[in-house]
Amino acid sequence: MTVRLLAVMVLAAVCCGGCGDRGADAPRTVAMAFEDALVSADGAAACGLLAPDTVKELEQSSGSACAEAVLEQGLPAAKAAEGAEAYGSMAQVRFAEDTVFLAELDDGWRVLAAGCTPAAARFDCTLQGG
């Protein structure tokens, strides 16, 4: 996931306003399961919810297997989703402690980026695909 893609998602959220709320249940469920896996220190479950490019980038940058590396990222332990918007095959789920970006792939919704915090007109993410 590049910063440019995240910037496009932010722009879509601003332009669309509240229209993205429809269809956000599935990505919200996946984002919450990802956060639950982090809270439970279940790296394998967390990695099973990541997009393939995100797994690849994480493993390459850390030099470790995904299940170990994802728990070493210092991602916030989010508890409850505060909001979710879906824009076609892309989604954003906001927690008080985190913002998670997702994409709908052939096998369902997957986490593209997590540990994201707003920074000007984009997000800085601790975990993201390449």
CA dist., res. 16 & res. 59, Å (int): 35
- Above 60 in pLDDT, residue 63? yes
What is the model's pLDDT at position 22? 53
Amino acid (one-letter) located at 84:
A
- Above 80 in pLDDT, residue 6? no
**Predicted TM-score of the model (pTM):** 0.82
How do residues 115-128 score in pLDDT, each as one tens digit?
A: 999 888 889 999 99
What is the full DSSP assignment across the chain?
A: --HHHHHHHHHHHHHHGGGGGTT-HHHHHHHHHHHHHHHTT-HHHHHTTB-HHHHHHHHHHHSS-HHHHGGGS------SEEEEEEETTEEEEEESS-EEEEEEETTEEEEEEEEEEEETTEEEEEEE--
Class of 3-14+21-128 in CATH: alpha beta
Assign 23 a pLDDT band (cuts: 50, 70, 90).
confident
Structure token pair of residue 117: 């915090």
